[in-house]
């Protein structure tokens, strides 16, 4: 009898992350945007693992700014948060980047 055990429990991680979004101190517009983003990822057929990763990164971005996503100026407001997150993303050509 073979059982399919999920090692990383991405569905559980997503459930916990969505609960964190609901109970967080984020502005209401960002909470709704993150829930909508989750529905968008599911509707587009992304894997559970990829959905979990994208949702987590979007949540981290929302925590870096204290205002609604729609109020961010692309050049000024988001360059620093994206730079902080992009330095933590592993790259094939040089391994894991360090924050400066």
Segments making up each domain of the chain, as ranges = 10-86
pTM of the model: 0.67
Q: pLDDT by residue (tens digit) across 43-86?
A: 999 999 999 999 999 998 888 777 787 777 655 554 555 555 55
d(CA 20, CA 91): 28
pLDDT of residue 12: 94
């Amino acid at each position: 009898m073979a059982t399919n055990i999920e090692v990383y429990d991405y569905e559980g991680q997503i459930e916990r992350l969505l609960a964190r979004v609901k109970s967080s101190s984020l502005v209401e517009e960002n909470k709704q945007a993150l829930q909508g983003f989750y529905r968008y990822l599911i509707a587009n057929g992304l894997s559970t693992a990829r959905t979990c990763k994208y949702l987590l990164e979007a949540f981290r971005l929302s925590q870096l700014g204290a205002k609604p996503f729609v109020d961010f100026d692309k050049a000024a407001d988001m360059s620093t948060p994206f730079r902080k997150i992009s330095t933590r993303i592993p790259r094939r050509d040089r391994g894991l980047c360090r924050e400066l």
